[in-house]
Amino acid sequence: MKSVYLAVLIFLSGCAHATEKFDADAFYGSPEIHPSSLIQMISNPKSALNKRVTVNGYFVSSGDSWLYLTSEHANVRDTLSAVNILDDTETGELNDTECNNGWVKIHGYYLAVFNKERREVQGRLIVDRMFSHAKGKYCWERKKAFPVEMLN
Protein backbone atom coordinates (compact mmCIF):
# COMPACT_ATOMS: atom_id res chain seq x y z
CA MET A 1 0.00 0.00 0.00
CA LYS A 2 2.86 2.28 0.94
CA SER A 3 4.61 1.58 -2.37
CA VAL A 4 1.42 2.33 -4.31
CA TYR A 5 1.03 5.61 -2.44
CA LEU A 6 4.65 6.48 -3.16
CA ALA A 7 4.26 5.61 -6.84
CA VAL A 8 1.17 7.84 -7.10
CA LEU A 9 2.98 10.67 -5.35
CA ILE A 10 5.97 10.43 -7.71
CA PHE A 11 3.62 10.27 -10.72
CA LEU A 12 1.69 13.38 -9.60
CA SER A 13 4.85 15.38 -8.87
CA GLY A 14 6.15 14.35 -12.27
CA CYS A 15 2.96 15.60 -13.89
CA ALA A 16 3.22 18.90 -12.02
CA HIS A 17 6.78 19.31 -13.16
CA ALA A 18 5.93 18.39 -16.77
CA THR A 19 3.25 21.12 -16.95
CA GLU A 20 5.79 23.82 -16.03
CA LYS A 21 6.41 25.57 -19.30
CA PHE A 22 7.34 29.08 -20.30
CA ASP A 23 4.25 30.70 -21.83
CA ALA A 24 5.71 33.31 -24.16
CA ASP A 25 2.34 34.80 -25.18
CA ALA A 26 1.39 35.40 -21.56
CA PHE A 27 4.83 36.68 -20.58
CA TYR A 28 5.11 39.26 -23.38
CA GLY A 29 1.43 40.14 -23.20
CA SER A 30 0.86 39.60 -26.90
CA PRO A 31 1.00 36.74 -29.42
CA GLU A 32 2.22 39.13 -32.13
CA ILE A 33 5.54 38.11 -33.64
CA HIS A 34 7.54 40.20 -36.09
CA PRO A 35 9.41 38.05 -38.66
CA SER A 36 12.74 39.66 -39.34
CA SER A 37 16.10 39.10 -41.02
CA LEU A 38 19.60 39.65 -39.75
CA ILE A 39 20.17 42.23 -42.46
CA GLN A 40 17.20 44.24 -41.18
CA MET A 41 18.25 43.87 -37.56
CA ILE A 42 21.82 44.95 -38.25
CA SER A 43 21.17 47.80 -40.71
CA ASN A 44 17.92 49.08 -39.23
CA PRO A 45 17.67 47.78 -35.66
CA LYS A 46 14.79 50.13 -34.79
CA SER A 47 12.53 48.03 -36.99
CA ALA A 48 12.89 45.10 -34.58
CA LEU A 49 13.90 46.56 -31.21
CA ASN A 50 11.67 45.63 -28.26
CA LYS A 51 9.64 43.27 -30.40
CA ARG A 52 9.08 39.55 -30.46
CA VAL A 53 10.92 38.33 -33.53
CA THR A 54 11.80 35.26 -35.52
CA VAL A 55 15.07 35.31 -37.41
CA ASN A 56 17.34 32.86 -39.21
CA GLY A 57 21.10 32.84 -39.01
CA TYR A 58 24.26 30.89 -38.24
CA PHE A 59 24.51 30.43 -34.48
CA VAL A 60 27.80 30.23 -32.63
CA SER A 61 28.15 30.20 -28.86
CA SER A 62 31.68 30.46 -27.56
CA GLY A 63 32.31 32.99 -24.83
CA ASP A 64 29.84 35.31 -26.42
CA SER A 65 26.87 34.06 -28.38
CA TRP A 66 26.21 35.48 -31.83
CA LEU A 67 23.88 34.94 -34.76
CA TYR A 68 25.93 35.52 -37.91
CA LEU A 69 24.88 36.25 -41.49
CA THR A 70 26.84 33.23 -42.72
CA SER A 71 29.18 30.53 -41.45
CA GLU A 72 32.03 32.35 -43.19
CA HIS A 73 31.30 35.46 -41.13
CA ALA A 74 31.36 33.23 -38.04
CA ASN A 75 34.73 31.71 -38.99
CA VAL A 76 36.40 35.12 -38.95
CA ARG A 77 34.31 36.38 -36.01
CA ASP A 78 32.91 39.28 -38.00
CA THR A 79 30.63 40.45 -35.20
CA LEU A 80 29.71 43.58 -37.14
CA SER A 81 27.78 41.19 -39.42
CA ALA A 82 26.00 39.53 -36.53
CA VAL A 83 23.50 40.06 -33.76
CA ASN A 84 24.55 39.38 -30.19
CA ILE A 85 22.54 36.86 -28.20
CA LEU A 86 21.95 37.18 -24.49
CA ASP A 87 22.23 33.76 -22.90
CA ASP A 88 20.59 34.40 -19.54
CA THR A 89 20.81 30.80 -18.34
CA GLU A 90 22.98 30.27 -15.29
CA THR A 91 25.23 27.72 -16.88
CA GLY A 92 25.38 29.00 -20.46
CA GLU A 93 23.01 26.32 -21.77
CA LEU A 94 22.99 27.63 -25.34
CA ASN A 95 26.65 26.62 -25.63
CA ASP A 96 25.73 22.99 -25.03
CA THR A 97 22.88 22.67 -27.50
CA GLU A 98 22.87 20.78 -30.78
CA CYS A 99 22.17 24.14 -32.39
CA ASN A 100 25.65 25.45 -31.70
CA ASN A 101 27.68 26.01 -34.85
CA GLY A 102 24.72 25.60 -37.15
CA TRP A 103 21.85 27.23 -39.03
CA VAL A 104 18.96 28.03 -36.74
CA LYS A 105 15.68 29.83 -36.52
CA ILE A 106 15.36 31.79 -33.31
CA HIS A 107 12.06 32.80 -31.74
CA GLY A 108 12.81 35.52 -29.26
CA TYR A 109 12.73 39.12 -28.18
CA TYR A 110 15.07 41.79 -29.55
CA LEU A 111 15.86 43.72 -26.40
CA ALA A 112 16.94 47.35 -26.69
CA VAL A 113 19.85 48.08 -24.37
CA PHE A 114 21.89 51.21 -23.92
CA ASN A 115 25.55 50.54 -24.55
CA LYS A 116 27.41 52.93 -22.24
CA GLU A 117 30.67 52.30 -24.05
CA ARG A 118 29.30 53.20 -27.47
CA ARG A 119 26.73 55.69 -26.16
CA GLU A 120 24.08 54.18 -28.36
CA VAL A 121 21.07 51.92 -28.16
CA GLN A 122 21.79 48.42 -29.35
CA GLY A 123 19.89 45.20 -29.59
CA ARG A 124 20.55 41.91 -27.86
CA LEU A 125 18.49 38.92 -28.83
CA ILE A 126 16.81 37.00 -26.02
CA VAL A 127 16.06 33.44 -27.06
CA ASP A 128 12.73 31.79 -26.26
CA ARG A 129 13.09 28.86 -28.65
CA MET A 130 15.77 27.73 -31.06
CA PHE A 131 15.15 25.47 -34.05
CA SER A 132 17.99 23.65 -35.77
CA HIS A 133 17.55 23.52 -39.56
CA ALA A 134 20.09 20.72 -39.83
CA LYS A 135 18.47 18.54 -37.15
CA GLY A 136 14.92 19.52 -38.07
CA LYS A 137 13.88 20.00 -34.45
CA TYR A 138 13.89 22.46 -31.61
CA CYS A 139 17.13 22.11 -29.67
CA TRP A 140 16.40 24.58 -26.89
CA GLU A 141 13.31 26.06 -25.28
CA ARG A 142 13.09 28.55 -22.47
CA LYS A 143 11.78 27.19 -19.18
CA LYS A 144 12.45 30.15 -16.93
CA ALA A 145 11.12 33.63 -17.70
CA PHE A 146 13.61 36.34 -18.57
CA PRO A 147 14.08 38.90 -15.74
CA VAL A 148 11.18 41.27 -16.30
CA GLU A 149 13.05 44.31 -14.97
CA MET A 150 15.45 44.05 -17.88
CA LEU A 151 12.60 44.40 -20.35
CA ASN A 152 11.64 47.81 -19.00
Partner 1 sequence: MAGIEECKALCDDKKFLAVLDVARGNLGMQSRLAHDPLTADPIRRHRFIGLVVRKDKSGEYKLGTIGTDAWDGRECFQNGLVCTWQDIFQEAAIVAAAPPSYRLTSIMGRTTVHDCKQLSRKTQTPVFLIGTGMDALKSVFYCDENTFKRFK
- Number of chain residues interacting with partner 1 (CB under 8 A): 28
Phi-psi region of 147 (alpha: psi -120 to 50; beta: other; left: phi over 0): beta
Residues 26-85 that bind partner 1 (CB under 8 A): 62-65, 77, 79, 84
Nearer to partner 1, 2 or 118 (CB): 118
Residues 124-143 that bind partner 1 (CB under 8 A): 124
State in angstroms the smallest separation of the CB of 35 from partner 1: 24
Identified binder of partner 1 from the candidate list 40, 54, 56, 122, rule CB under 8 A: 122
Do the strands 120-132 and 82-86 form a parallel or antiparallel pair, or are they unpaired? parallel
Q: What is the DSSP letter of 95?
A: G
112 strand-pairing partners: 123
Determine the Cα–Cα distance for residues 59 and 103; give it in Å rounded to an integer.
Answer: 6
Please report whether residue 21 would count as binding partner 1 according to CB under 8 A.
no
Which range, of 5-13, 27-35, 117-125, 129-137, touches partner 1 by CB under 8 A? 117-125
Q: What is the 3-state secondary structure (H, E, C) of 48-115?
A: CCCEEEEEEEEEEEECEEEEECCHHHHHCCCHHHEEEEECCCCCCHHHHCCCCCEEEEEEEEEEEEEE
Identified binder of partner 1 from the candidate list 37, 47, 54, 95, rule CB under 8 A: 95
Residues at the contact surface with partner 1, assessed by CB under 8 A: 62-65, 77, 79, 84, 86-92, 95, 111, 113-119, 122, 124, 147, 149-150
